[in-house]
């Protein structure tokens, strides 16, 4: 399927492009909580930085007193004092 046709199908079906592409969805709440949906695993874990793999990218969370609140095969919740969330 060509890229142009693929985009038209996504538009007609009203499907969010990120759900098809496999890209992670990152939601930040109040500067103290991050939800990463569609992650591919934990890459780095420290009190000041947590990194998760995505499809073709890496999500890096920087802050203080960071901790993994919950994690399953699809979602990850990180809490602490957030300084930055970077997609690399």
Q: Of the candidates 72, 35, 37, which has an alpha carbon nearest to the alpha carbon of residue 55?
A: 37
Model-wide pTM > 0.85: no
- Cβ atoms 27, 82 nearer than 8 A: no
pLDDT by residue (tens digit) across 44-75? Answer: 999 999 999 988 889 999 999 999 999 999 99
Phi-psi region of 65 (alpha: psi -120 to 50; beta: other; left: phi over 0): left
pLDDT by residue (tens digit) across 24-49? Answer: 889 999 999 999 999 999 999 999 99
């Amino acid at each position: 399927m060509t890229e142009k046709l693929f985009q038209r199908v996504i538009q007609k079906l009203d499907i969010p492009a990120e759900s098809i592409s496999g890209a992670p969805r990152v939601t930040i709440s109040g500067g103290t909580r991050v939800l990463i949906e569609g992650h591919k695993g934990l890459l780095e874990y420290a009190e000041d930085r947590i990194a998760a793999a995505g499809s073709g990218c890496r999500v890096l969370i920087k802050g203080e007193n960071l901790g993994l609140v919950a994690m399953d095969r699809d979602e990850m919740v990180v809490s602490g004092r957030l300084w930055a969330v970077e997609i690399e």
